[in-house]
Amino acid sequence: MQRYDKYPPINSFADAEKRYNEIKVLRSKHHSLEDDVRPIGPRTRKYERIKKLSDDCYIMLDGCHNTDDIWNHYRRKEDQKVKVDPRYAPIMWMRGDESDVPLTESIRIRNGIGHGMHNSRYTFLENWLPMGLDFYVDSGKHYIVANRNHSGTSTGYYLPKTRPDMGYTYGRDMTDELRVDDGHYLTFTRPQGKYTWQPQGDTFEYVYPKNIVDKKRKKELKPYIDSMWEYITTMYNVLDIKRALAIGGYDWQASRERREHNSDYYARVKSDDKDDKLAFAVNFLTEERCTDFTVTTEEDRKRLRSIYNRWINKELDLTTKSPYQIVRRKGEYKCG
């Protein structure tokens, strides 16, 4: 990862304002003074720059080709100008109104746009977020960790990807009316001169996909499922499954073939045939690796029942997986 340790950090709105004023505008055959290209780090990475929108707002850009007025994917000619859309900047520094007491400053943080990996954006956030805010990745999910201290206490806020309305005409940029911002960003606010950040506005939560059981269909099969369960628990301590498999007391391969050829799981669970019941029990116990403990206590029964419920839901095709969700939590914070 690219690190810019030798460059002064930007930890406040005042730092952003100072950095903008100190940087010499980059000028070349590709960039005029009017382009106002001011790299915040190495001048060889000129697309990572700071831009002034007003006396109270600065944005920090990482060269995302859909949202940058200089490095824009749809800028086909040198004379084709597009406007930067500040909504999609990875970092936006804002100063509160002078009437606010105490005077506040805010930072708005945006993840990458669209599906896929955005490694340049992740690196940019790791380098340029201020003290008190850290970019953190956990199992592929991205978070902003606020107010980490020496005791390890901190709060993580999920930072979702931006997925604007993707209906567009080729050759038109992100500033077009067709693009609708989904508002997937985080804003943190604090009084100027203070360290601790507080979330302002909406926050988000990632809800993992869930297996949803069809309760109506399962209710119809419940008598048969329970009957099979009673058979399994009754025979469990009688049948030494692990030993039987080791000495060939049960033909596991034959049971597998019987199961694979018989795809009518509803008929199998309803069957009163002794061989069907035995094969059903052996398949369950071996597939779920329930051959190493005995069902002698109520705790054992509960543990085995939980495993059985999960397995029977899968085998009888009683579950569907819901898609993941990004839940928006409404909220507002005001300093003071």
Domain of 257, in residue numbers: 215-317
- What span, in angstroms and rounded, lies between the C-alpha atoms of 106 and 189? 4
- Which residues, in sequence order, are CB contacts of 309 under 8 Å at separation 6+? none
Residue whose entry in the numeric block shows the structure tokens 């508002």? 183
CA distance 283 to 316: 14
Query: Is 241 within a domain?
Result: yes
Q: What letters, b where the CB count within 10 A reaches 16 and e where it falls short, cover 40-63?
A: bbeeebbebbbbeeeeebbbbbbb
**pLDDT beneath 50: ranges in the chain:** 74, 76-77, 167-171, 177-178, 246-249, 261-263, 332-336
DSSP 109-140: EE--BSSS--HHHHHHHHHHSPTTEEEEEETT
Sign (positive or negative) of CA dihedral 11, 14, 15, 19 = positive
Q: How high does pLDDT run on average in the chain?
A: 79
Q: How far apart are CA 280 and CA 57, in angstroms?
A: 68
CB 16 within 8 A of CB 23: no
Is 168 a member of any domain?
A: yes
Residues 158 and 201 in one domain: yes
Helical axes 298-315 vs 215-236, angle rounded to 10°: 130
In this predicted structure, what is the pLDDT of residue 202?
A: 93
Nearest residue to 111 via CA among 204, 220, 215, 213: 204
Q: Do 162 and 272 fall within a single domain?
A: no
Question: pLDDT > 90: what percent of the chain?
Answer: 31
Domain count of the fold of the chain: 2
Q: Are residues 100 and 153 in the same domain?
A: yes
Specify whether 274 is located in the same domain as 127. no
Indicate whether 71 and 163 sit together in one domain: yes
Does 227 share its domain with 171?
Answer: no
**Residues 6 or more apart from 269 whose CB is under 8 A from it?**
221, 224, 225, 228, 280, 312, 316
User: 72 and 203: one domain?
Assistant: yes
Phi and psi at 329, nearest 5°, equal: -105, 115
| DSSP structure class, residue 46 | T
The verdict on 266 and 175 lying in the same domain is no
pLDDT number for residue 291: 67
pLDDT tens profile 174-227 = 555 446 788 899 999 999 888 899 999 999 999 988 889 999 989 988 998 999
Residue 147 lies in a domain: yes
Burial of 1 (0-12, 13-18, 19+ CB in 10 A): exposed
Q: Which residue has the tokens 């990632």?
A: 206
Per the domain annotation, does 334 fall within a domain?
no
The predicted structure's pLDDT at residue 28: 83
Which among 60, 203, 51, 39 is positioned nearest to 124, based on CA atoms? 60
60 and 194 share one domain: yes
Q: Does an H or E element contain 136, and which?
A: strand 133-138
Residue 273 CB partners (closer than 8 Å, separation 6+): none
Domain assignment of residue 287, yes or no: yes
pLDDT, position 264: 56
- Mark whether 129 and 255 lie in a shared domain: no
Are 148 and 261 found together in one domain? no
On whether residue 29 sits in a domain, the answer given is: yes
- What are the angstrom distances between the C-alpha of 213 and each of 269, 283, 314? 17, 22, 10
Does residue 300 form part of some domain? yes
